Structure 1
Amino acid sequence: MQINRLFEIIYILLNKKSITATELAEHFEVSVRTIYRDIDTLSSSGIPIYASQGKGGGISLLDDYILDKSLLSEKEQNEILYALQSLSVVKAPESDDVLERLSRLFNKNKTSWIEVDFSPWGSDKKRAFQFTIIKDAILSRRIIEFNYISSSGKKSARRVEPVKLIFKVNAWYLQGFCLTRNAYRTFKISRMSELLMTQEVFTEKVLSELPNESQTDNTQKWIQVCLKISAEGAYRVYDEFDEKDVTRNWDGSFTVTASLPENQWLIRYILSFGADVEVLSPNNICDMLRDELNRISSKY
């Protein structure tokens, strides 16, 4: 890629007093003519690069030159470095190498300003490795294979063309075209096992928008639920509900009014708060909770 080669030429010249076009051509495995075209491109862009003839001659930069005196403002340099650093933490191809070169070119220290870890808290290395496989498969357009357990507990083998990783409601999901079902599907990462990236390359399909979960289940009924959550449950309130749906009470508790799906998930979600939650409405949810608690207590 020419832009990468141009940056590396400058990087080499910053570390060498002079280098010949033949040496650069051998380094990049291109022709000498291509190197001279690159030099012309850099020169026309305002880079103070020159070539001298004769013994000891070669291609050089003016002494004390650094890139921040030429093409980019201080803000633009920082934006480029920050963007590359955010890519490097997810191991985007060649990002570390390019980041190191540009840091030298801009005469800046490489500062670690961001850390991205796709794996959940407390997860093992195997779970973290899943994200690396999925990311690599998306970027290289490779088909992946895995076993998947549905919300009903049924296990099935899947072959998928991965498209996008999504984080939603405290969980990671993969969207892609499921070759097993011949349709786009959304998979919860925590339900995937025995993940494998194959050597099969797929052609990206033309799709304006990936279907979301609500599009795949139009029969789902949503209801308005009012909850009172104690001060002890405060750590979850603003993580899981929109601020506009939350009212703080005088005693430190919270009243939350939100639209939630009316199904068994809702009952188990409310129970996950333990004694820190009280359902104020609707009444039928209170009845469903009471029935579920009775079933639980009967086992003990």
Structure 2
Amino acid sequence: MRASRLLSVLLLLQNRGRMTAEELAAELEVSVRTVYRDVEALSAAGVPVYADRGRTGGYQLVDGYRTRLTGLTEEEAQSLSLAGLPGAAAELGLGTVLAAAQLKLYAALPRELRERAGQVAERFLLDVPGWFRGIESLPQLAEIARAVWEGRRISTRYRRWDRTEVDRVLEPLGLVLKAGNWYLAARSGDSVRTYRVSRIADPVVGERFERPSDFDLAAYWREWGEQFEKRLYPRKAVVRLSRLGQDLVPFYLGAVGARALRECRDEPDEDGWLRVELPVEPGAPALGELLRFGPELQVLEPADLRAEVVAAIERMAVNYG
């Protein structure tokens, strides 16, 4: 553990130049006293690190010194694919190895590219979850991730959408983070299915299994997403949208509604209203989604859905006298 921390101190000084003991302690999440001991150990090992005294002082390496200890471990190399998602990496149990991998990667870069990479990190940030929600905090996620890495079966209880629970033995093939929610692609029997990780209870990692050589996680997720979307939005509603209603579509109906709006070939009328065919959920959810638009949307077809909207508006009018 200490050897890894000494290497981190060395790489931090190599990447960032002068750093105070307090800055190093905060970066490594240790005490300032521990930093003092680590710097002494580096000096004793022959690393040319020296201290500038005073208010603007700090530790730094002799100009021109660069370590060649930049080889990535297997875990660190794997974690680099999550470099834009530090929260997700932490949930998977890779937070510390991701930080170490990034340090080693920066240390291996020439000064010009290292400065450029630092500027990118200062100017661009990837924040995946939507507003008013974060990435799910799941204590079982790290254990499931280990099973995915090692190709081991999982015995678990799974809570289905109707709240019934079933026992499952899963062969985990991949994890996907979608809109702040984690999903597991796993083989059960002869088929590959998708499981919401938050509904997986008490996973027990078991023996190894043979991973199918032709499984492509990205292709599977793309196809599964398309089929899920068709099941979720089996109906079409022909509506008229005001200019404001058109602006509200991405917020109220998400990517599905936004795509329908982009694919619409009709032109707005002289008042700016646009006739659009929107995918909607079955039953009551569709009614709720359409009523959110208030007076900015008018349902034209199908007739039964239009009648449901009219009846709901009349009931609302009664409530308000």
The TM-score, its normalising length taken from structure 1, stands at 0.51
Determine if the alignment matches structure 1 residue 274 to structure 2 residue 291.
Answer: yes
State the shift of 1:161 in Å: 1.9
Corresponding position of 2:173:
163
Distance 1:175 1:105 in 2: 35
Match of 1:245 among 239, 249, 263: 263
State the shift of 1:99 in Å: 1.0
SS at match of 1:265: coil
Distance 1:278 1:170 in 2: 33
State the shift of 1:255 in Å: 4.3
Corresponding position of 2:88:
90
Give 5+ residue unaligned stretches, structure 1. Answer: 1-6, 16-57, 68-81
Corresponding position of 1:196:
203
Alpha carbons 1:147, 1:194 under 8 Å: kept = yes
State the shift of 1:83 in Å: 5.7
Name the structure with the higher helix share.
2
Match of 2:237 among 209, 225, 229: 225
- Alignment identity in percent? 15
Task: After superposition, give the CA deviation of every residue in 1:48-102 in whole Å (9 maximum; x if it has no partner).
Answer: xxxxxxxxxx9x9xx72669xxxxxxxxxxxxxx867326553275332121122
SS at match of 2:213: coil
State the shift of 1:290 in Å: 5.7
Corresponding position of 1:105:
108
State the shift of 1:268 in Å: 1.2
Corresponding position of 2:193:
185
Alpha carbons 1:227, 1:256 under 8 Å: kept = yes
Task: After superposition, give the CA deviation of every residue in 1:223-263 in whole Å (9 maximum; x if it has no partner).
Answer: 543233563644335644214235767767664324x47xx
Task: After superposition, give the CA deviation of every residue in 1:112-132 in whole Å (9 maximum; x if it has no partner).
Answer: 643456698435x86354554
Distance 1:249 1:169 in 2: 35
Cα distance, 1:186–1:204 mapped onto 2, change above 3 Å: same
State the shift of 1:177 in Å: 0.8
SS at match of 2:203: strand
Cα distance, 1:187–1:270 mapped onto 2, change above 3 Å: farther
How many corresponding residue pairs? 228
Alpha carbons 1:161, 1:176 under 8 Å: kept = yes
Task: After superposition, give the CA deviation of every residue in 1:134-185 in whole Å (9 maximum; x if it has no partner).
Answer: 44432333333242223x453323332222334669965432112xx55321
SS at match of 1:90: helix
Corresponding position of 2:151:
141
Corresponding position of 2:42:
none
Alpha carbons 2:239, 2:298 under 8 Å: kept = yes
